[in-house]
Structure 1
Amino acid sequence: MELALTGLSGIAWTVVYIAAIWIGFTQKTYAIPIAALGLNVAWEWIYAIYGLSTTPSLQAYINLAWGLADTVIVYTFFRFGRRELPAFISRPMFIGWGVAVFATSFAVQLLFIGEFGLVDMQAAKYSAFLQNLLMSGLFIALFVARRGMRGQSLTIAIAKWIGTLAPTILFGAIGGSAFILGIGLLCTVFDLAYVGLLVWARTKPPQLLSAAAADVSARARPD
């Protein structure tokens, strides 16, 4: 059961990242909210390096694959993300802000390790579920900020939900962690709400169409 749920989570999140990379380059944007992306990149590289340098496991190799994929998504953020911001934000300001977000993300992950240690991977589990809940909320905020589905997809939404639900069952329900089970269930609530929003948006209500047109016009300005 553990191997099956770990594999399911690995496959689902890999689908998320592949879809995010595809959308990033085809729609010239970034498909994962920056704060969640920063925490994910930091988590994946820290625990990939730690896992592969100690006792390599399936999860360690999955973390490495995720880290490599997320690095490409980071590129899409720095390449296209400036277009999402107001005109007064210069490119140097944008790059400085992005670097600060990623540096802070690594610091947060290291603080988790300093607080909980690496025994039984408690730091990895707690930080992973908390940043997962953050991502669930930020995807909804991204939908609102972009006034529709630009840079988003049902594939990402559904795969993100499944990729979180699998470890929730493994560590929360089977593993007996009330904290992980509770945070995982909250992720499910937000993830399904996000799925519902994307399904609703496919009906293309007039207010979304007009807002999307305004966004396209705004993005036409040079970087």
Structure 2
Amino acid sequence: MTTFLTALSGIAWTVVYVAAIRIGFTQRTYALPVAALALNLAWESIYSVWGLATEPGLQASVNLAWLLADLLIVATFVRYGRSEFPGPLPRSWFVAGCIGLFAAAYAVQWAFVVEFGYAQAARYTAFLQNLLMSGLFIAMFLARRGPRGQSMTIAVAKCIGTAAPTIVFGIGEHSAFVLTLGLLCLVLDVGYIGLLAWSRRRPGALVTGARRP
């Protein structure tokens, strides 16, 4: 069962990343919240290297695949992200902000490794940044006043990709921390799916509402 759920999570998150890459380049935007994307890139680069060096197996291979996909998603942010900011943003500010954000993400991930060791840090940070991503997807929907640069495929696959390891670690290994964060992710993910479904039934509702006095 653990192998099945690990594989399911890997497949689901791969679907998220492939969909995000496709949407990013076709809609000329980025499809994952950038703060969560920075943490994901740091997480996957650190733990894919650690996993392949210490215990090569399914999860290490999955982490490496996610890392390669994340690099393409980062490319969409670097290429199109500056246009998402209100008003003209100098390129030098955007570049400096990107460097600072991704450097901070690596610093946070490494601080967890130093404090808890690789195995526990990988688990704690994975669920913490997953919860952050769940909230930021909702914030992205509201900031963009609709589903531009987003999709139901990403929302559902993200929900499945989080629920599977929640069962493995939260229920199977009796981790109250993982179970709590996993359930919070589930609530936010279902809420985000609901927002996307609502926007399908009422396309343009938020944009129209923004023009009312």
TM-score by length of 1: 0.92
Distance 1:17 1:211, change over 3 A: farther
* Correspondence for 1:199: 197
Q: C-alpha separation between the residues in 2 aligned to 1:58 and 1:114?
A: 25
Is 1:76 the counterpart of 2:53? The answer is: no
Gaps in structure 2 of 5+ consecutive residues = none
Q: Does 1:126 align with 2:124?
A: yes
How far apart, CA to CA, are the structure 1 residues paired with 2:75 and 2:209?
27
How far does residue 210 in structure 1 lie from its aligned partner after superposition?
3.4
- Show the counterpart of 2:10: 10
* Correspondence 1:1-223 to 2 at 5 A: 1-118=1-118, 121-210=119-208
Question: Does the aligned pair in 2 maintain the 1:146–1:212 contact within 8 Å?
Answer: no
Aligned residue for 2:201, secondary structure, equals coil
C-alpha deviations, 1:58-107, integer Å up to 9, x for none? 00000000000000000000000011012242111111101111110011
Distance, in Å, in 1 between the alignment partners of 2:131 and 2:178 is: 11
Q: Provide runs of 4+ in structure 1 moved above 2 Å.
A: 204-213
Superposition RMSD in Å = 1.4
Kept after mapping to 2: 8 A contact 1:37/1:74 = yes
Query: How high is the sequence identity, in percent, across the aligned residues?
Result: 61
Displacement of 1:212 after TM fit?
9.1
Aligned-partner Cα distance in 1 for 2:35–2:204: 31
Structure-2 change in CA distance of 1:127 and 1:206 (3 Å): closer
Relative to structure 1, the CA distance from residue 97 to residue 211 in structure 2 (aligned partners, 3 Å threshold; closer, same or farther) is farther
- 1:193 Cα offset (Å): 0.2
Please give the alpha-carbon distance, in whole angstroms, between the structure 1 residues aligned to 2:80 and 2:184. Answer: 31
Where in structure 1 are there 5+ consecutive unaligned residues?
214-223
Instruction: Quote the residue 1:219 is aligned against.
Output: none
> Using a 3 Å threshold, how does the CA distance of structure 1 residues 102 and 206 change in structure 2: closer, same or farther?
closer
Deviations 1:140-184 (A, max 9, x none): 000000000000000000000000000000000011101100100
Partners of 2:198 and 2:42 in 1: CA distance:
33
Q: TM-score under structure 2 normalisation?
A: 0.96
- Asked if the contact 2:35/2:101 (under 8 Å) is kept, the reply is yes
